[in-house]
Each structure stands twice: as C-alpha cells, then as structure tokens.
Chains A and B, each alone.
Chain A
C-alpha cells in the first residue's frame, strides 16, 4: 500500500510539472512563496512586491527544465531566480529612467549627522528604524546603478559573502568584488556630500 502522507520531493514535483501536470506547480508555490517573498521584500519597494513575486514564480515555471536539483536544491535555485528578477526589475527602471528620485530634507541630513556622532551600537540600530533612515537609503540607492544597488543590498547591508552573492546573481566572484568596491566608494561619496552640505550650512 502506498503511504499518501509521504510528501513528494521537490525534484519529483518538478518532474510532474514538466510531464504536463501544471497544477503540481502549486505545491512548489506553497513550499517556497514565503521564502521568495522575504527575498523580494528586501530589494523591492513594498508597492511592487506582489507583482515582482508573481514574476519570480512565472520565471521559475518557465525555467523549470534547467533545474538540476544540485547544491542547495530548489530553495537555492529559486532564491537565485528571485534575486535576478529583482535585479532585472531595477535594470528596466534605470534604463527607462523611472527610478523614483526622492528629495532630501533637513531632517534626513540631521539624521545622518546624528548617526555619525553616535557611539552606541544599539542606538545606531534604533536610528535605522526611523522613517528618515529608510528614505535616505532609498534616496542614496536611486543614485547608484542597478548592479551597484544589488551588491550594496547583498554585501554591504546584508553582510552576505561575495561568493554567495555571485552565485545568486550569476556573476563571477571577481566581478562582484569589483562592483562592491566601486559601489561602496560611490555610496560613501554620496553620503559624504550630504554631511559636507550640513557642515557648510552651519
């Protein structure tokens, strides 16, 4: 007798979908939509998350024949698709010059000045929860390229190792390293400009 409580493996589900059982794809969505949602939320503004997450699963479905079940399995394969979909989204926006450019107010400059003067780690983390912090981050990120934006997100803000980021983005480790170095330099310059502006205003 076959035990119906045994869950089919991801590879079995993939095979079923490829064999024509489209509905089996829902099993993969059940298993991995939360994880993919977490990734997309990190890189995309809240208003676009649902649409991008939809694109992630459509793209996964379209590329299912390339899934080999190696390494971290379906989870890591889907993570890579999620990160690349976010990257493509930004690339399209930057190309069409549709990246929203917010403006900076005295409150943001004051926030940055306070951060630079702060010594306590807990206080810095707390400061990062402020609205000004998110807005300033968006403002600075809009001044980077799509590539720089992704490496800043993954390496600088999430602390991901370069090799892991390279695997997710499908770039070479050297490429990621070089881009991360340039992006960090550019970001520091952007923020430094704000601090300078604040100091001049005194």
Chain B
C-alpha cells in the first residue's frame, strides 16, 4: 500500500475530530466542594509561583529585546566589514595563495 492519500487522511481527521469533540462533551460537574478545595488551598497559603512569574516576565522581556539584539548584530557586522576584518574565506584564500609566507609567519610566531 502507498502512503495514506490526502482524501483518506481527511476522512480519518474528520472522524477523529468528532471523537475529540465527543470527549469534550462529557458531563463533568464541578460543584461547591471543588470550589471549596481550590479556595482551601489558596487560603492555606499558596505562595506566588516565582518561577512561573519569572518565566512569564522573562519571556516577554526576551521577545522585546530580540529586535534590538538583531539590529546590534547587523550593525556590528557592517562596522567590522568596513574595518577590514578578514573573513575566514579571505584567510583561506591567503593560505592557498601564499603557503610559504604563512608557513614562515607561523614558524617565527611560535619560535619567538
């Protein structure tokens, strides 16, 4: 058999989505006792979840900083490229073109 074609996939999805909705329609009563348990836990001294609060605030902060960070990186790339910093490709080209010079340079550098 070949892979499930789109038509068959759609039919399965439709039936499973119906099963999913059916699950959500299950009758579950939440009454006073449930509410009492929640309030009991809260009155019993549930502390603010510092980790959750931190994660929430950190998440918000990170997304706000992302555009600034990207702009900073972009700016630095332009500045370095104009300063004449050699890229790895240029260095590789230099090695290929002048292997002796580089070899001598390395020799003198490591035998100072």
Q: How many whole Å from A67's CB to the nearest CB in chain B?
A: 10
The answer on a CB contact under 8 Å between B15 and A62 is no
Contacts of B24 in A (CB 8 A): 38, 41-42
The answer on a CB contact under 8 Å between B42 and A58 is yes
Contact of B13 among A41, A58, A156, A196 (CB under 8 A): A156
The answer on a CB contact under 8 Å between B38 and A29 is yes
Give the dominant DSSP class at B's interface: helix
Contacts of B28 in A (CB 8 A): 37, 41, 46, 49-50
State how many residues of chain A have any CB contact under 8 Å with chain B: 52
Contact of A157 among B20, B30, B52 (CB under 8 A): B20
Which residue from chain A places its CB closest to the CB of B34 in the assembled complex? A50
The answer on a CB contact under 8 Å between B14 and A125 is yes
State how many residues of chain B have any CB contact under 8 Å with chain A: 40
The answer on a CB contact under 8 Å between B53 and A112 is no
A145 within 8 A of B: no
The answer on a CB contact under 8 Å between B46 and A63 is no
Contacts of A23 in B (CB 8 A): 39
A104 within 8 A of B: no
Contact of B4 among A25, A33, A128, A188 (CB under 8 A): A188
Contacts of B16 in A (CB 8 A): 128, 133, 136-137, 157
Contacts A63-B56, A192-B3; A41 near B42 (Cβ below 8 A): no
Q: How far is the CA of A192 from the CA of B49 in the complex (A)?
A: 43
The answer on a CB contact under 8 Å between B39 and A25 is yes
The answer on a CB contact under 8 Å between B59 and A170 is yes
Interface centre among B19, B20, B35, B39, by most chain A C-beta atoms within 10 angstroms, is B19
Interface centre among B16, B30, B57, by most chain A C-beta atoms within 10 angstroms, is B16
As a 0/1 sequence over residues 123 to 160 of chain A, the CB contacts with chain B under 8 angstroms (1 = contact) are 01111111001101100000000000000010011110
Q: Which of A4-12, A89-97, A113-121, A173-181 contacts B (4 or more CB under 8 A)?
A: A113-121
Contacts of A76 in B (CB 8 A): none
Write 18 A-B pairs (CB below 8 A) sorted by A numbering: A50-B30, A53-B34, A54-B41, A57-B38, A62-B46, A62-B52, A62-B53, A63-B52, A116-B12, A118-B11, A126-B18, A128-B18, A136-B19, A137-B23, A156-B13, A156-B17, A158-B17, A188-B3
- By a beta-carbon cutoff of 8 Å, the part of chain B in contact with chain A is 1, 3-4, 8-9, 11-26, 28, 30, 34-35, 37-39, 41-43, 46-49, 52-53, 56-57, 59
- By a beta-carbon cutoff of 8 Å, the part of chain A in contact with chain B is 22-23, 25-26, 29, 33, 37-38, 41-42, 46, 49-50, 53-54, 57-59, 61-66, 112, 115-116, 118, 121, 124-130, 133-134, 136-137, 153, 156-159, 170, 188, 191-192, 195-196, 199
